[in-house]
Structure 1
Amino acid sequence: MARLQTPQALANVGEFTVSELSQALKRTVEDTYGHVRVRGEITGFRGPHSSGHCYFALKDEGAKIEAVIWKGVAGRMRFKPQEGLEVIATGKLTTYPGSSKYQIVIEALEPAGVGALMALMEERKKKLAAEGLFDEARKQLLPWLPEVIGVVTSPTGAVIRDILHRLEDRFPRRVLVWPVRVQGEGSAEQIAAAIHGFNALPEDGPIPRPDLLIVARGGGSLEDLWSFNEEIVVRAAADSMIPLISAVGHETDVTLIDFASDKRAPTPTAAAEMAVPVRAELFVEVGGLARRILSSWQRGQDFRRNELRAAARALPGASDLLAIPRQRLDGASAALPRALRASTNAHHRRFAAAAAGMTLKVLRAQVAHSAHRLDSAGTQLQRCARATLRHRRERFEGLAVRLQASKLANQQAQRMRIAREQERLQRLAERARRALITLLERRQARVDATGKLLTALSYRGVLARGFALVRDADGRSVHAAASVAAGARLSVEFADGRVAVTADGGSGSPVEAAKPTPAPAKPVKRPPSPAGQGSLF
């Protein structure tokens, strides 16, 4: 059993100042916990402090710890902290005596969970932006009133119903839906194939080529919308020759296809509103403009008519217009001699005053002063010329460097574009070659089938089986014995040749009468049997 300490014994315990106790706790925490790795969500981050340091906290379901990143470490970090991201922080624990709390001084930071996806998205965004896929110069203007609108989305979701309903309310247009999966495995390939498929439609084909494309999906988490961050989808949107509107998620959701598309809509309904104007408003606006044009024209005509009438009434006669100028001319003519004498006297006095001051000494002083001013001006001019030349040379050198950099960037972009076009041309050439081979094989099979059908329907096949064809003297086929008269000349055709006979009227059976001795029969040439099929004879 512990013995209770008396007040006298407690009075002998050593005293600590607050600073000493804080330093002791600081050493204990730092010695016990060296470098640690902590996983948590960033909270309370409002950007770097004015000093350059970053202050925030890491939290999970049950606890929170303060964190700090010093200015030098924050400048070297590749991954920057962001509010709400789950990260793995590496650093050492310490205490802050000013508020009696412990904190972690972070030396390395890496994403975890959703934060990792966002880091991957940022890295992919920088890569595609460096290739020029997000440049404003690549973006196309949307058609003011498209005839056909292509929609790439799920056929069973509420997105397509919202788009169709909004188009019906604003300006009904023909809509082609390419059904795809908008989430899960294989969805990115289907979306890219749909964009390429719409672009591959011929303009005059049975299925019209859309004038505008809408790639739409409802809201969801970052994982649900990840298909629209895939590189294959972004490149398909950037390569689309048809203007494209991306409407993925809600207004706060951002995907990489939004940067590559020609226009980004916050929602699928807003995409439908961007696609077409309101027909009723157009009717009202056109009617109002027509009325304003007519009213403005009428007012202008009335104003010009009244102005012309007023000008006609106020126009004076010729004598009135010339009366005042005539009086002025008379007065000027009368005053001219006096003015000439006064001007001559004034000039004489000025000349005399100037001549009195123009002595040889004064002239030499003025010449010396002018020479001094000329030398000073020449010196200043040389300094100004050198400074201007130096400034222009520096400016031209800077422009030359910028021009060279722009030239190299442009050459790189053009090379990449030519490489993509060459790859696309090779794919199209390979598809054309395979299509031509398939077409030739189909045509050859059709010709072979037609030849077999012709052989099967020909009467010579019947003759080859032992039958004969009887014709009369005119070469017409004889189908009945009753139509043959006695003594009629007939021609009997066998598989190996023809025989001329004369009909006997008694029994109706033909009697050979052409030659007393029949010619030896030629051997029958049977057609070769197909490969793999035996002969029936």
Structure 2
Amino acid sequence: MTDVAPEASPDTVAQDGNARPYSVSELAFALKRTLEDAYGFVRLRGELSKVTHHSNGHVYLTLKDERAAIDGVVWKGQVRGLSIRPEQGLEVIVTGKITAYPAGSRYQIVIETMEAAGMGALLAQLERLKARLAAEGLFAPERKKPLPSMPAVVGVVTSPTGAVIRDILHRIRDRWPCRVVVWPVVVQGDAAAAQVSAAIRGFCALGPAAGVPRPDVLIVARGGGSVEDLWPFNDEGLARTVADCPIPLISAVGHETDTTLIDFVSDRRAPTPTAAAEMATPVLAELKALVGDLGSRMHRCGGRVVEDRRARVIHAERALQRVPDLVRLAEQRFDIVSGRLGAALAKNAAAHERDLVRVASRLSPLLLQRPQAVQRQRLDAVAQRLQPAAERRLARAGERLEALGKLLVSVDPDRPLQRGFARVARADGSLVRSGAELVSGETVAMTFGDKVTRSAVVDGQGPAGGGDPVAKPAPKPAKPKARPGPAATSVQGDLF
């Protein structure tokens, strides 16, 4: 390991002969460069803890063993390239470089690759992922779709080479000749999960414009192998793609004893690819035999129904009477009823007559005259009270009307004009309330008591204008002659 502090040089010696003091930043960045130079590539094994997936895409974590711990970070650009997803408690082997964080005086490892430390850790990670997906309801039986009974198109996602596709095609051809669309993918290695997911999404996106019909059922197939070979089918993204697939999907990965994650989320699991082909398709010969048997049974049942109906009609015919007998019986009943009708009507009329006579004895004109007399008395009493009330109300209304007439005369704006006053208005029609508002040369209109309006021009200037404070007095107008008319103090007469 290189020394932290550089060797003494003329630049590091102060004028007084002592060592030059470093700043905190200089020392922190010197330590950072030293760690990065000495440990530019490090491979560590440990258990993950304090795993934090930040919103900016970075992953912060801690690697620890039984005696020590070191902080680590995975930058956003490296997260997608990791072979596994960092999770709490997972034992991993990471590679990266050691660096320091100057702002906090801490050292950490910048992780570039990460892999599980042994198959035991992989299986533990798989169990945790399986439990999480089960808690989300992806394994629920009620969300699994039923397989079509007679598919017209079968989609197969598998490797184009090998015995798997040949077994599936041979089995489908023997059982149910239909169209098979194969989407070739790799079924082993790091790229397998992404290609299988893309194939499933591609089948779901097919439509009439694609030129290839959309499959009625999908088969994801692969031959047997080790746990490492089948590991791409334990990918979380592939499992979610299978769960979201709208087409019924059969998982046929490995042999009967092999189990992968997509077996739990698929709509049906087949122990082998050949068994998947048998699940997806019926047997044409069996369907033909079944249809023939059903046709024979239908004919036999139809014949039995016709014979049964014929026998029932014959039996009912024996029990039915002849038509003339039925008519004669009805005629006899009609004659009997019509003979009784006249006597019944006369008896009914006599009964009603007796009831009318019995009630008529209790009826008399007094029963009608008595209520009329009572109502007449009540009407007379109301009329006697109504006339004085109406007279009083009319009197009060007249008094109010007279008072309103007097008030109208007192607030009449033209009444002061009769006493020699004049109403002054500007050219725009607004009233002049103060002489200070007028300016020299302004034209005003003056209205007099005889309703005559004259125009005038203001002469001189008021005190506020700074001119001559003494205005020339206007000539005294001649006293108007008395005009005949009603007196100002006359009292308005009664309108009534």
What range describes the TM-score normalised by the shorter chain of this pair?
0.3 to 0.5
* Larger helix proportion of the pair: 1
Max radius of gyration: which structure?
Answer: 2
